Amino acid sequence: MIRMRLFPAPWHICGLLLALLCLSVPLRAQIHQVSQREAEREARLLEAEKWRLLGDWDKAEKGYKALLDEAPATDAAHFGLARVYDTLGRDELALKHLARAVELDPDNEWYRLTQARVLEKNRRYEEAAAVFAALRKKNPHVVDWYLREAALHVQAGRLDEAVEVYEALERVIGLNEALARRKHALYLAMNQQKKAERVLVELVRAFPDKPKYRYLLAQYYERQGQSQKARKVWQEVLARWPEDPQARLALAQDAADGNGDYRYLMSLEEAFARPDVHIDAKLPKILPYIQQLARSGDTTLAVPLRRLTEVLTRVHPSEAKAWAAAADVHYCLGEVDKAIAQYRRALEADDDAWSVWEQLLMVLAREGRFDELRDLSEEGLELFPNQPVMWYFNALAWLETGSPDDALASLDNASFMPMPEPLEARMEVLRGRALMARGQLDEAGRILQQATERWPRLPEAWEALGDWHAARGETDQARSLWQKAATLGGASATLKKKLAQQ
């Protein structure tokens, strides 16, 4: 039988094996301890997160703080605690922990975005802008970082810094219209007219085959009163694109050969009939003449204005602005029924057009059509419950249709809303009139007397106070106050009637 001889191992190898054998048990225990501790921390973090999501802010706060007492470098716990404080409105503590979370994990975008939001909420706009500056430096291809940083600089009044951010973005994505418009607006706000002009000129040069950039430049010159420069640009457009409707419309006054406003307006009809010319390019051509008609009552231009607004409503039937312009012309010409019908068509086209609502309410009130005013204002309150003007006309309509209680209820609904002082004055006079209609003469007299003292130039306050004296049989005092009202604001038909009866 052959036996194998076992040679003894060298002593140094035996010592090493023995040392590793001795160390293996505590080493395994240490690894187990570390992973176990981390697992416990993770579980505690999840527990705190659970309470935060459930809205139990006390338990969430205690959970995060206990974890941070043990492991103060846990960025997720700082972030979670910051979110609790943010929800509770404890913004300084929220910002403290957000700053620590960002310090521990500067690459975490969510930490930085939350930090920027809380800073912005506290109007610390420059600090918030700095957060987005840091974000865009780490990732320079995210366009939103640039836009949000620039917007924060604007809120802080640092317009020059906003321009610098837009220029940095321009270096990344190249020149485009949206950026150019933003820079142009900022230069205008800073009264840097040359730079504002240069931005638009650069657009024209960069995109020579796109006429819309020449439109922008020409319209800028028009707004600046530089008519010769504007005309030159429009002529350049026609030279390149002879049938361009925008340019033909802009140069229509030249085509009228200087033969007066009538001929000029008539020359616009061809351009107005083109649907490819935007309504916003057409309206500015006629609005000054509609305003002139409203001021002077001169009907010389009635024919072309009627024709042009009729064309607008035919070519742009879904545009509230077209119907409103037509209604304005009819109202200025005393064609009240047609005006009201077309204001209503404007609201059918766009029931969010507040200016049209306001104009129609005013027309109905002036014409004494209070039943229609009541119904329209009730409808309008569904859309504009926070507009005090709507409540004013609603109260007026209720009062004039014999429901002073409803009038007072509407005035009370508007009383807590911020409003300009002229409207506040009219509201107070209306309140006095409604109280008078309810027979509460003492309270009405007190309110109307205060109104004349506070707004001594308001004719309707003096007229209403005259009505109050008349209700008490004090005819001399009433007549004196009505005459004062007529002197201040011109006698309305109602006021003339009162004066004639005394």
pLDDT in tens, 185-210: 999 899 999 999 999 999 899 888 88
What residue has token string 């003096």?
A: 462
pLDDT at 70 over 90: no
Mean pLDDT on 13-24: 34
What are the DSSP E strand ranges found in 2-143?
Answer: none
**Is it true that 180-250 and 420-502 share their CATH fold?**
yes
Tell me the pLDDT tens digit for each residue of 355-409: 999 999 999 999 999 999 999 999 999 999 999 999 999 999 999 999 999 999 9
Question: From the CB of residue 95, how many other CB atoms can be counted at a distance below 10 Å?
Answer: 20
In contact, 329 and 301? CB cutoff 8 Å: no
Residue 51 has, within 13 A of its CA and on its CB side, a CA count of: 18
Domain 180-250 has CATH 1.20.1530: no
- For the chain, give every domain's residue range: 180-250, 420-502
Among 167-181, 214-228, 251-265, 334-348, the least confident range: 251-265
Q: Residue 81: which of 461, 453, 67, 204 has the closest Cα?
A: 67
Per-residue pLDDT at 434: 96
The CA distances from residue 424 to 380, 418, 430, 496, in Å, are 20, 9, 10, 26
- 309: pLDDT confidence band, cut at 50, 70 and 90? very high
Q: Residue 253: which of 279, 227, 276 has the closest Cα?
A: 227
Mean pLDDT on 430-446: 95
What type of residue is 75?
D
In contact, 426 and 392? CB cutoff 8 Å: yes
Among 32-36, 183-187, 256-260, 405-409, the least confident range: 256-260
DSSP 170-222: HHHH---HHHHHHHHHHHHHTT-HHHHHHHHHHHHHH-TT-HHHHHHHHHHHH
Question: From the CB of residue 64, how many other CB atoms can be counted at a distance below 10 Å?
Answer: 29
d(CA 405, CA 81): 53
In contact, 66 and 58? CB cutoff 8 Å: no
What type of residue is 238?
L
d(CA 123, CA 332): 47
DSSP 418-459: ---HHHHHHHHHHHHHHHHHTT-HHHHHHHHHHHHHH-TT-H
CATH number of 420-502, picked from 3.30.1330.20, 3.40.50.880, 1.25.40.10, 3.90.1300.10 = 1.25.40.10
Residue 439 φ/ψ region, left for φ over 0, alpha for ψ in the -120 to 50 degree band, beta for the rest: left
Q: Residue 411: which of 55, 400, 453, 428 has the closest Cα?
A: 428
In contact, 281 and 315? CB cutoff 8 Å: no
Sign of CA dihedral 88, 91, 95, 96: negative
Per-residue pLDDT at 194: 92
Mean pLDDT on 82-104: 90
9: DSSP letter: P
In contact, 495 and 486? CB cutoff 8 Å: yes
pLDDT at 232 over 80: yes
- 253: pLDDT confidence band, cut at 50, 70 and 90? low
d(CA 139, CA 154): 22
Mean pLDDT on 94-112: 91
- 27: pLDDT confidence band, cut at 50, 70 and 90? very low
Question: From the CB of residue 294, how many other CB atoms can be counted at a distance below 10 Å?
Answer: 12
Tell me the pLDDT tens digit for each residue of 215-229: 889 889 888 888 889
d(CA 353, CA 389): 14
d(CA 310, CA 282): 13
**Over the range 217-227, which residues count as b (16 or more CB within 10 Å of their CB) and which as e?**
bbbbbbeeebe
Phi, psi of 257 (to 5 degrees): 60, 25
Q: Is the pTM of this model over 0.85?
A: no
The CA distances from residue 318 to 186, 263, 379, 388, in Å, are 33, 28, 21, 28
The CA distances from residue 233 to 242, 257, 397, 427, in Å, are 13, 19, 52, 51
Per-residue pLDDT at 481: 93
Residue 245 has, within 13 A of its CA and on its CB side, a CA count of: 14
Per-residue pLDDT at 484: 92
